[in-house]
């Protein structure tokens, strides 16, 4: 499968919602779903890389699928609030570069 751009991902989500969904959940519902999905990722991370052991119900969880669930809801939120995530990401990267271009390199803790 060829890689897709962020814009293409936003478009695919929008088309899926229009084809298979009745409508987008409202923004507050999607924000809550996003929080829930991040919690599911945190649970797997804590058990895979942290000190907690897996429960039987956690053993077949897929880390990539959980990350994709988060991306899906984030793309929904961007679409319904009119955010072009490509532009937002590029602007954010520039902000981080200008602000932190020597911060980490000069951090003796790293």
Kindly report the CATH number assigned to the domain that includes residue 61.
1.10.287.1080
The answer to whether residue 59 scores a pLDDT higher than 80 is no
109 in a domain, yes or no? no
> Per residue in 70-88, pLDDT tens?
999 999 999 999 999 999 9
Q: Quick one: 92 exposed, middle or buried, by C-beta within 10 A (0-12, 13-18, 19+)?
A: exposed
The verdict on residue 105 lying in a domain is no
Q: How far apart are CA 92 and CA 36, in angstroms?
A: 25
Q: Which residue has the tokens 């951090």?
A: 107
Q: Tens digit of pLDDT for each residue in 13-39?
A: 999 999 999 999 999 999 999 999 999
Residue 29: how many other CB atoms lie within 10 Å: 12
Within-domain flag for 50: yes
Is 104 within the bounds of a domain? no
- Select from 69, 70, 44 the least CA-distant residue to 57: 44
pLDDT of residue 49: 93
Residue 106 lies in a domain: no
Whether residue 22 lies inside any domain: the answer is: yes
Which pLDDT score, from 0 to 100, does residue 61 have? 84
Domain that holds residue 15: 6-99
Average pLDDT over residues 90-95: 98
- The alpha carbon of residue 80 and the mean position of all alpha carbons in its chain are separated, in whole angstroms, by 16
Return the pLDDT at 11.
98
Number of domains in the chain: 1
The contacts of residue 86 (CB under 8 Å, 6+ apart) are 5, 6, 7
pTM exceeds 0.75 for this model: yes
**Assigned domain for 88 exists:** yes
Q: Is residue 107 part of a domain?
A: no
The stretch 47-67 carries a mean pLDDT of: 87
């Amino acid at each position: 499968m060829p890689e897709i751009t962020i814009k293409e991902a936003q478009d695919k989500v929008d088309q899926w919602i229009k084809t298979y969904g009745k409508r987008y959940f409202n923004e507050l519902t999607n924000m809550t779903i996003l929080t829930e999905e991040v919690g599911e990722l945190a649970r797997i991370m804590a058990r895979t890389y942290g000190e907690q052991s897996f429960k039987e119900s956690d053993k077949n969880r897929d880390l990539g699928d959980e990350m994709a669930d988060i991306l899906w809801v984030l793309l929904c939120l961007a679409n319904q609030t009119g955010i072009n995530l490509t532009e937002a990401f590029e602007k954010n990267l520039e902000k981080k570069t200008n602000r932190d271009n020597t911060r980490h390199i000069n951090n003796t803790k790293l």
